[in-house]
Structures are given as structure tokens and as C-alpha cells.
Amino acid sequence: MTHDLSTLTAGRIRDGIAAGDFTATDMAESALARIAALEGDVHAFNEVTAGLALDAAARVDDLAAAGEPLPPLAGVPVAFKDNMNLRGTNTSCSSLILESYSSVYDCTAVRRMLDAGAVPVGKCNMDEFAFGSSTENSAFGPTHNPWDLDRVPGGSSGGSAAAVSAGMAVLALGSDTGGSIRQPGALTGTVAMKPTYGRVSRYGVVAFASSLDQIGPFSKTVEECALTLNVICGKDPMDATSVDMPMQDLAATMRDGVEGLRVGVVRDLMALEGCDPRVRACTMDAVEVLAGLGAEVGEVDLPSCMYGMPAYYIIGPAEASSNLARFDGIRYGHRAEGAEDVMDLYLRSRAEGFGPESIRRIMLGTYALSAGYYDAYYGQAQKVRTLIIRDFEKAFCDYDVLVTPTSPTVAFKIGEKSSDPVSMYLSDVYTIPVNLAGIPAVSVPCGLVDGLPVGLHLMGRHFDEATLMRTAYSYEKAAALDMRPPLASALGV
């Protein structure tokens, strides 16, 4: 029997299986049915893992039948961005160079989801190697926004966002290097979180920029976001940058309300020219809701964040140019035919395997690290990074949470920005400083403009995910928006 996954939450699924209302297999089949119905229009997936899903669901059903206690994500259909390793799947990063690459081990965050009973339904489309903000830079074609199939879902985790938005998966994991979870979250009307750098192990997610990358969840509700974060966080011996820092039970602490919470609206970033005034207005309405709930609202400037964008486009590509060197055609991935010697093999394999945006970033990063340019580019960018961290530290002396829109615009048309990389890069102007500072941030749906979702961007102190969840939950409950895209609610399965 199939169920409408666009209305079921993770908690409801687990409880329903425990109560015998339905089975995990029902849930897996529901997800697969919705994927079958919608995938042709949306193209959220690079690979649908029906076999893995039904196997995992059967294990949960066995547990339930035996009367065993069910883990927190028991029977919940989940999707993973296709840069996360999962044995039994390919991990293509939406690139031709890894098109046939079969994972030989599991990503820690993925493993933790599966150990918590989640049912993997597929690997999601993305911008190649996470380079992009629209999921158009996929070697396998763009993902379409379930709210308007002519529009992008954002990126780079656009497939994960679209899958959750359309109810093809209940939860999804993405990776966020400069906004790649939060921006598509905003553009698809989902709750999307980038945890503090070090909160979640990066082991097994194909690295873009190691000092910025962080895995995080997509969900329909804040509660599911909190639940998922509790599952995937924690020190991992396989990631030397993961941090051993206790995490509260976020689903419990999020109910504490925002009375007296100090909320700072980031005035200078809000005033940026490229920000759609209607998006700005939508964001301010959300701030009013928080004020109505007892939060103390003020304004703050983050002047150094204006330089976040150029700094990011030095540091990100620099690290990426090194991280992507291993895709050389020697051990795995695409290998060009007919190479004359090893250098020729490298040149041809990489030229054939990488798409244009990957090549652009590799070249940018290689240049920025070159002898004689290092100080002027990479060194300077690291200084900007330090200034941004100081800006945030200062702001967090006066405020507990900082607010901007997640994206300066709502979802744009497919093809609209693809010929202009710089205008595309501006999509992440609000999200990038967060990665540079390593702090946590969440995007929560806060309304529609022209029938398209807008995201409220909440930023917190290092390791203070609890306050973010509390703020997001309070807002979500008070605003009580229905963020199901028409396509998803019309489906009726």
C-alpha cells in the first residue's frame, strides 16, 4: 500500500511502523512509486537504489515484527547527494570522470543514517563536483524545481532538495561548501542546514574544498532537521577535523521558545543591490514573527562579508584544484583511449572527464596557488577569512542569531544564468561567509514570491545548533506555511 510521502514526517513514519499502521516496505514502495511518477519531470536522481531500499526496509520490518525498539530513522526513505560514498552504488559527483565509479566504502554520515534505520532510495543529482548553484552543471542534465519545472532547484545539492520537496524522499543529505545545501533549500521550500564545521564527519564525501565542506540535512520540517542532525553529528576517527563536542537533543531543546532571544538583522548584507526587494520584505516579515514571539530584534553590520565572495572564489578553487588532482585516469574513473605517455593520459582523461565549470575552477585554483601568486591570492583570501570570523565574533557578542535571506532571489529559469558565471556566483552571497567562518546556519521556508519559495537564513555561533533549531522551530510553528509544491500535492500517491 502506498502513502503520500509529501505529508509524512520521519517521526510519524517511525511511530507508524512501530504501531503497525504501515510497514517500512510500504514506505520504500511509496517512495519508489513517487520517484517513478515524478522523476521524468524532476530528474532529482542519478541512481535509484530500489534493491538497497527494499532490503533496508525489510530489515526494519523484521525488527518491528520481533518487537525490537526501532532506531530514530526506522523506515524513513532517504536520498544522498551523489558525492557521498555508499557501497552498492556509484558515486559519480555528476561527472563523466566518475560516471562508472563504484563506491568501495561508506561515507560516515551515510552509514550513521543507515544504522539509524533509514532506507536509501537513491543518489541525487548535483552540480558536477558541487561546483554551481543551479544543478545545471551536471554531466547528466539539470534537475527541475518541483515548484516550476522550468526553473532550477538551486545547487549544488539541487537533486537532494528537489527529492525532498517533491516527496520522493522524506529526508536527504547534501553537502554545503558555500551554500550548496541552504540555497537549494530556500529555492525548493525545504528546511536545509549546514552544521558547524567539524560537527559532521566529512569522511566519504568527495571533497570540494576541505576547509569549507560540511554535510547537512534537507527535510520538510525543522523537527526532522533536528532529528537528522542528532543522528549524523559527532566525532569520527576517520576525519581529523571532526570535533568531539556534545550535542543536545535538538528535537527537545527546540521547543524552548525565543523569548528574550537576541536576533540581529544583517543590515549591510540585506541592502545589497542584487537582493530582490520582495525577498527582502519576506525576510523582514519573518523577523516580525520572531519579534512577536518575544525575540529582541536589532540590526548589525558585517562589513568584511562583502569580501567573502572573492575570498571564497580563491580558497574554494585552490583547495578543489588539489582535491580533484586524484581523478587522473590511473586507478579509477574515466581513462582516455590512445594516450601516448603518462602526461598525455592525464591531459586527455581530465579534458574528456571534467565539465567546463570544473575545468574553470581547477584552472582558477591552480593559478591562485602558483609560485609568485600565492601571497596575493590564497594568502590574502585567508586574511579576509580571518576578518570575517572577527565580524561574526563581534556580532555574536550582541546577538544570538543573525538573519539574512538565504538567497537574494527566488528560483531562476534554467539557462538564465548559465552563460554568466559571476551572476550565478552571486546566488551564494549570503551563504558563503558562513562557510568561511565555519559557523552553523539553517534555511527555513518563510513564504512565497511569485509562487516560488523564499528561505529565511539563520546563522548561529560555533556549535550552537541548538539555538538555531529553537529559532527555526518557533518561526515554523508560528508561520504555519504549507510548503508542498503543487506538483507534489497533486500527485495523490
Partner 1 sequence: MSKDRLTTVLESWEAVIGLEIHTELTSLNTKMFCGCPVQFGGESNTRVCPVCLGMPGALPVPNESAVEATILAGLALDCRISRWSQFHRKNYFYPDMPKDYQISQYDLPFCVGGGVNVEIDGDGCAQRLDRAAVGADPDGTYTTRIGITRIHLEEDTGKMVHVGGSEGRIAGATHSLVDFNRAGTALMELVSEPEIRTPEEARRFAQKVRLVFLTLGVSDCNMEEGSMRVDANVSLRRRGDIEFGVKAEVKNMNSFKALHDALAYEILRQGDVLDAGGTIDQETRHWDAGKKRTSSLRSKEYAHDYRYFPEPDMVPFTFDDEYIDRLRARLPELPDARGSRYMAEYGLPKHDAAVLSGDLELGDYFEQVVEGVGVPLARAAANLVLGDFSAYLNAAGSTPTDADVGPRKLARLIQLVDDGTISGKQAKEVFAEMVATGEKPRQIIDRLGMRQVSDSGAIEEVVDRVLASNAAQVAEYRAGKHGLLGFFVGAVMREMGGQANPAVVNEILHARLDA
Residues with Cβ within 8 Å of 268's Cβ and at least 6 positions away in sequence, in order, are 301, 302, 303, 305, 306
Number of residues engaging partner 1 in binding (CB under 8 A): 44
* 81 in catalytic set: yes
- Which residue, 225 or 315, is less far from partner 1 as judged by CB? 315
Q: Which of 204, 216, 440, 460 binds partner 1 (CB under 8 A)?
A: 204
Q: According to the binding rule CB under 8 A, does residue 378 interact with partner 1?
A: yes
Q: According to the binding rule CB under 8 A, does residue 237 interact with partner 1?
A: yes
Percent of the chain that is helix, strand, coil (3-state, to 5): 45, 15, 40
Identify whether the C-beta of residue 182 lies closer than 8 Å to the C-beta of residue 159.
no
- Which residue, 91 or 474, is less far from partner 1 as judged by CB? 91
What's the min distance (Å) between Cβ of 119 and partner 1?
Answer: 22
> Counting every residue, how long is the chain?
493
H or E segment and range at residue 470: helix 465-479
Residue for grid cell 510521502: 5
Q: Which three cell numbers stand for residue 354?
A: 571534467
Q: According to the binding rule CB under 8 A, does residue 330 interact with partner 1?
A: yes
Residues with Cβ within 8 Å of 213's Cβ and at least 6 positions away in sequence, in order, are 175, 176, 177, 202, 205, 207
What's the min distance (Å) between Cβ of 121 and partner 1?
Answer: 21
- Which residue, 23 or 83, is less far from partner 1 as judged by CB? 83
What's the min distance (Å) between Cβ of 261 and partner 1?
Answer: 32
Q: Which three cell numbers stand for residue 89?
A: 552504488
What's the min distance (Å) between Cβ of 364 and partner 1?
Answer: 13
What's the min distance (Å) between Cβ of 370 and partner 1?
Answer: 6
* 219 in catalytic set: no
Q: Which of 100, 210, 386, 489 binds partner 1 (CB under 8 A)?
A: 210
* 123 in catalytic set: no
Q: According to the binding rule CB under 8 A, does residue 408 interact with partner 1?
A: no
- Which residue, 7 or 210, is less far from partner 1 as judged by CB? 210
Q: Which of 56, 191, 318, 456 binds partner 1 (CB under 8 A)?
A: 318
Q: According to the binding rule CB under 8 A, does residue 422 interact with partner 1?
A: no
Question: Which contacts of 50-54 are long-range, i.e. CB under 8 A and separated by 24 or more positions?
Answer: 50/121, 51/88, 52/86, 52/88, 52/89, 52/120, 53/28, 53/77, 53/119, 53/120, 53/121, 53/122, 54/25, 54/28, 54/29
- Which residue, 5 or 362, is less far from partner 1 as judged by CB? 362
What's the min distance (Å) between Cβ of 297 and partner 1?
Answer: 36
Stretch that binds partner 1, among 69-77, 85-93, 226-234, 263-271 (CB under 8 A): 85-93
Q: According to the binding rule CB under 8 A, does residue 84 interact with partner 1?
A: yes
Q: How far is CA 460 from CA 12, 178, 441, 479, in A?
A: 29, 16, 6, 21
Q: According to the binding rule CB under 8 A, does residue 102 interact with partner 1?
A: no
**Residue of 92, 138, 157, 180 marked active site:** 180
- Which residue, 17 or 206, is less far from partner 1 as judged by CB? 206
Cα–Cα distance, 201 to 106 (Å, whole number): 12
Sheet of 171-176, strands arranged across:
45-48, 119-124, 77-81, 171-176, 214-219, 191-194, 441-449, 452-459, 401-405, 262-266, 296-300
In 3D space, the residue among 227, 208, 391 whose CA is nearest the CA of residue 216 turns out to be 227
- Which residue, 253 or 322, is less far from partner 1 as judged by CB? 322
Q: Which of 53, 60, 207, 225 binds partner 1 (CB under 8 A)?
A: 207
Q: According to the binding rule CB under 8 A, does residue 211 interact with partner 1?
A: yes
Q: Which residues bind partner 1 (CB under 8 A)?
A: 83-85, 91, 93, 98, 101, 104-105, 107, 202-207, 209-211, 237-241, 318-319, 321-322, 325-328, 330-332, 342-343, 346, 366, 369-371, 374, 378
Catalytic residues: 81, 156, 180
